[in-house]
A and B are shown apart, each in its own frame.
Chain A
Amino acid sequence: MTSPIVDVTDLSHVYMQGTPLAHQALDRVSIQVERGECIAIIGHTGSGKSTLIQHLNGLMRPQSGKVIVNGLDVSDPKVDVRLLRRQVGLVFQNPEDQLFEKLVGDDIAYGPFKMGLPIAEVKERVEWAMELVGLSFDEMKDRPTFALSGGQKRKVALAGVLALRPHVLVLDEPTAGLDPRSRNELLQRIRRLNQEEGLTVIFVSHNMEEVARLAQRVYVMANGQIACEGTPRHIFGNSSLLQEHHIGTPEAVDILYQLLEQGYAVDTGSFLPEEAAAEILNLIKR
């Protein structure tokens, strides 16, 4: 049996500990992610999602509990943080705010360059990463970053992380603010990275269509705890769970729940538009 690539056990975190404003952001959280899995973390604003993922590349160290990523113990003060951050690529919410170089190509090259790679390999990685996120290397590498649209900046920021060739990719709201095509393309690219390159993906999202399409397994967080865990079909098929934890539903599921309320026998775990259409056809074609 292989050990999980990400193994979080009983992780707790209190912000502003010892003050009247102390706030328990994480409360004995445990998650296990196997190599090559694609995992979604969902939950209401303030449920602890972002605090959790910041532990995965050592931006935050465990106050209590254990975080082991690819064999590296994040709670060990002597852990090689540079190695850890190379293995875990963390893409923040609004990563476009973090672009700092004048030109697109330079910004993406910054990480690999700092790793001390030979210049030919840096260039090759930049090309590879730009292609992956859907930016044409020849056309875009010399564009100034300030003149990009929000979605283009997002792609540049993602490419900058991918160029480090991480084993685990952690994304905080990867598609918020992207247009539908860019969103679909990015999701397909993430899925390809996951399935073809074996990259382990962990993403935080409030877009339930995205969770439905991408995740193999979902963790639901509430009040700093893992409220439940399961496949998207299991999670979206459980309306009391969705309501209790203020989780939105994919539009397709919303339609099916409305039908269910009116007394139709439909499977509310059918979260893709194609499946919902099939459920509806079942009802009317008899």
Chain B
Amino acid sequence: MTADHPIIRVENVSFSYKVNQDQQIPVLQNVSLDVYPGEYLAIIGHNGSGKSTLSKHLNGILTPKTGDVYVNQINTRDRERIYEVRSQVGMVFQHPDNQIVATIVEDDVAFGLENIGIAAHEMRERIDASLEAVGMSAFRHRPPHHLSGGQKQRIAIAGILAMRPQCIVLDEATSMLDSYGRQDILAVIRKLHREGMTIVTVTHHMSEVAEADRVVVMEAGQIVLQGTPREVFAHQQRLRELHLDVPDASRIAALVHQEWEPFSPNLIVNEEVVEEVNRHVIKQAEASGT
């Protein structure tokens, strides 16, 4: 991984919102972060910790007050090349309704392509492929406002895929969805990641975080903890201080471990808990000689 150039390089970025002439609210403070090709990165932190602001820096929606963000060596401050940046790093936002512009699904997916002047036949191909990738081909002639939240988010992802990006940033893209809609989106993300897409996801759902390769924890505009999900979720106490949580699977494993020491406390997904139960039950059976 280290041999590759990062797709996104965040260097010493600080950012603040101006409240009035003499008051600024600092949101990011000297944040540095590299995102590597093919990586699945989760950014977590409590409301107001700066994670959404950070994610909006990743494709130049916001530019830093000080410091720099590079997308494939292009500085996001370079407004002349901002379309290049945006076509390489696409963003999906929290509210499905806010990011749909057209009255027919396929027009919505085509919107970005029209803006960059893609030829009609290639546009067709790209729309077909993107709708296929998110499992929404059957809906291409429907009006989007009759779709469920999860389906709308899949259309939003298709619109981004059509731009052939290298990286997709999801800013709490599942938080307004019901659990089925969420599972749909997670399945799409999983598939894209398997096919080599770089994924950056900002989320409050710790069970989603468990699927990532790397987790970055934000607090007061700084990165305070990072590692694999297993490493990060081992810090239950620290996470609680940061207003965060661990997946229920981790909590349950820790509770069982308290009462029964051999039970591993370091589990992060449901299936692992089930396996661990199996392992113990078999061991017990062997010990009692049955």
Seen from chain A, the residues whose Cβ lies within 8 Å of a Cβ on chain B are 44-46, 93-94, 143-144, 147-152, 154, 173, 176-184, 206-209, 246-248, 250-252, 254-255, 258-259, 262, 264, 273-274, 276-277, 280-281, 283-286
Bitwise, B62-106 to A at CB < 8 A (1) or not (0) is 000000000000000000000000000000001100000000000
B149 and A283 within 8 A (CB):
no
B281 and A283 within 8 A (CB):
yes
- Given contacts A179-B45, A179-B204, A276-B252, whether A255 and B243 have CB atoms under 8 Å apart is no
**A283 CB contacts on chain B under 8 angstroms:** 277, 280-281
The answer, yes or no, to whether B46 is at the interface (CB within 8 Å) is: yes
C-alpha spacing A173/B149, complex, angstroms: 14
A161 CB to closest chain B CB (Å) equals 19
A286 and B284 within 8 A (CB):
yes
Q: How many residues of B contact A (CB 8 A)?
A: 50
B85 CB to closest chain A CB (Å) equals 25
B148, B183, B207, B259, most chain A CB atoms within 10 A: B259
B87 CB to closest chain A CB (Å) equals 27
A178 and B47 within 8 A (CB):
yes
Taking CB atoms and an 8 Å cut-off, the chain B residues in 214-269 that contact chain A are 240, 243-245, 247-249, 251-252, 255-256, 259-260, 263
A281 and B259 within 8 A (CB):
yes
Q: How many A-B residue pairs have CB under 8 A?
A: 134
B204 and A255 within 8 A (CB):
no
Bitwise, B4-39 to A at CB < 8 A (1) or not (0) is 000000000000010110000100000000000000
Closest A residue to B244 using CB positions:
A180
Closest B residue to A46 using CB positions:
B148
A262 and B274 within 8 A (CB):
yes
Closest 3 CB pairs of A and B: A151-B47, A248-B179, A181-B243
Which listed residue, B45, B175, B248, B278, touches A273 by the CB 8 Å rule? B248
The answer, yes or no, to whether B206 is at the interface (CB within 8 Å) is: yes
C-alpha spacing A7/B130, complex, angstroms: 48
**A151 CB contacts on chain B under 8 angstroms:** 46-48
C-alpha spacing A162/B273, complex, angstroms: 41
A274 and B249 within 8 A (CB):
no
Q: Given contacts A179-B49, A264-B281, A281-B256, could you give 11 more A-B pairs where the C-beta distance is less than 8 Å?
A: A147-B19, A149-B52, A150-B94, A179-B244, A247-B179, A248-B178, A251-B207, A273-B248, A281-B260, A283-B281, A285-B260
